[in-house]
Amino acid sequence: MRGASPKLPGRPPDISIVVSTYDRPESLRRCLTALIAQQTTRLVETIVVDNHPQSGMTAAVAAQFPGVRWLREPVPGLSRARNRGIMAAQGAVIVTTDDDVVAPPFWIERLTAPLFENPNQYAATTGNCLPSKVETEAELLFEAYGGLQHGNHPAHYDWQWMSRWRICFPQLWRIGTTANAAFRASLFRDETVGLFETRLGTGTASGAWEDLYCFYKILRAGYAIAYIPNAEVIHSHREEITELTRQIRGYRCGETAFLTLMLARHRDMRAIGQIFLWIPQWLLTLLFQELWRRSKGERKFSLRLFRAESAAYFAGPWALWRADRVTRQIDRRDAESL
C-alpha cells in the first residue's frame, strides 16, 4: 500500500479524484492533506477545480501539494466545476468529493473496490458521511434533519428499486451524496447519463439536487449503484444558523426544481405526486410533531428555519427557469467564441 501519487509518465491513472472548491483555503488544505495520504494500491491523480479563480485563494493552496492539478472554472456553479474536472480526468474511475470533507486513509480503496472488482455489476458507488462535530445549534439542527449519514448496512440501487415507487418519487437521497462518490469514467461519455446538470446545484438559482439527478440518470440508464458504509468521510457541517438556512433553502428549492425538470424532460409523472402529496404531507408532519414537542416544553427543530424551507419549495420552478436562461446564455456565448 502507498499514498496517492501523481500520474506516472506513459501510464494513465487508475483513479481521478475531482475536488470542487470556492474560496475555502483552510478547508481545502485539510481535504488535500487527507487525499495525498490515502493508502491504496491504485495510481491516483488529484484534480482541484477552482470555481472562483479570480480571488487567487485556491491556487496558492493547490500549489503546496506537488502532483495536484489545479484547473480554473470561472463560471459559478458546482456542476460546472465538477464537469471541468471530469473532462480533464484521465482515470478509469472518477471520484468526486468536496473541500469540506476529510477522508480517512483507506477511504479511496474501499469506495472504488466494487468498480474494479465487479465492473459489470456496478457503475457507481457511494459512501457514508459522518459529522466532524455536532456542537453548535446549526450543526445540531442539520443532524436533526438527517445530516448526510446513510446507515451502516450495504445497499444496492438499480432501476428495479426505483420503479417500485409508483405515486411519489423515489427517495434518491438514500443513495448518498457526490461528496463521497465514485463513477466509472465511461458513464459521463454515455449519452443516456452524461455530465452533471448545470441548471442544478450550488452556485445556480436552483441551489441543489444536481447529485441526485446524476444518480437518477444512472439508474434510468439501467446501471446499478452500490452503497459502501465503511467508505466513510468526515464532513464539516455549517456552524452558523445563517449558513444552515441558506443550505436548507438550497436543498428545498433544488428539490422542486429537480421535480420540474423531471416533468419537462423525462415526463416522469411521479414528480406530480411528490410535489402535491409527499412534500405537503412531510411538511405538515414535521410541523405538527414540533408543535407537539413544544407543548411539552421540548424542542427539536427551528420554526424560523421551517418557514424558510417551506417557502423555498415554491421557488423551485421559477429558479429552474432562471438557471435555464443563464445556462443557455453561457452555452451560446461559448459556441460563439469557438
Q: Tens digits of per-residue pLDDT, 50-77? A: 999 999 999 999 999 999 999 999 999 9
CB 253 within 8 A of CB 206: yes
Decide: 23 and 100 in contact? Cβ < 8 Å: no
Q: Which of 23-27, 40-44, 83-87, 297-301 shows the lowest mean pLDDT across its residues? A: 297-301
Average pLDDT estimate for 268-276: 96
Domain ranges of the chain: 2-239, 244-337
72-103 core/surface letters (b: 16 or more CB in 10 A; e: else) = ebebebbbbbbbbbbeebbbbbbbbbbbbbbb
| 324: its cell numbers | 435555464
**Confidence category of residue 188, pLDDT binned at 50, 70, 90:** very high
Say if CB 308 and CB 250 are below 8 A apart: no
Q: Rounded to the nearest 10 degrees, how much is the dihedral formed by the CA atoms of 319, 253, 294, 130?
A: -150
Mean pLDDT, residues 151-170:
93
CA–CA–CA angle 63, 130, 128 (5° rounding): 90
Per cent of the chain over pLDDT 90 is 89
Stretch 201-210: mean pLDDT = 95
C-alpha cell belonging to residue 120? 459489470
pLDDT at 301: 87
Q: Answer whether residue 305 shows pLDDT above 80.
A: yes
Q: Answer yes or no: are the C-beta atoms of 303 and 290 closer than 8 Å.
A: yes
Topology of domain 2-239, CATH: Spore Coat Polysaccharide Biosynthesis Protein SpsA; Chain A (3.90.550)
Query: Coil, helix or strand for 135?
Result: coil
pLDDT tops 70 at residue 288 = yes
pLDDT at 330 over 70: yes
The residues, any chain, with a CB within 8 Å of residue 100's CB and separated by 6 or more, are 24, 27, 31, 179, 235, 236
The fraction of the chain above a pLDDT of 70, given in percent, is 97
Give the length of the chain: 338
Q: Render pLDDT for 11-21 as a digit per residue (tens, 0 to 9).
A: 899 999 999 99
* Residue 4 confidence (pLDDT): 57
- Residue 48 cell numbers, joined: 482541484
Question: What is the per-residue pLDDT for 179?
Answer: 96
Among 310, 273, 274, 306, which Cα is nearest to 289's?
306
Three cell numbers written together for 51: 470555481
- The arithmetic mean of pLDDT across residues 287-297, rounded, is 94
Provide the grid cell at 40.
Answer: 491504496
Q: How far apart are CA 37 and CA 3, in angstroms?
A: 5
- Please state the separation of Cα 325 from the chain's center in Å: 23
Phi-psi region of 106 (alpha: psi -120 to 50; beta: other; left: phi over 0): alpha
In which element (H, E) is residue 190 found? none
pLDDT digits (tens, 9 = 90+) for 91-144: 999 999 999 999 999 999 999 999 999 888 999 999 999 999 999 999 999 999
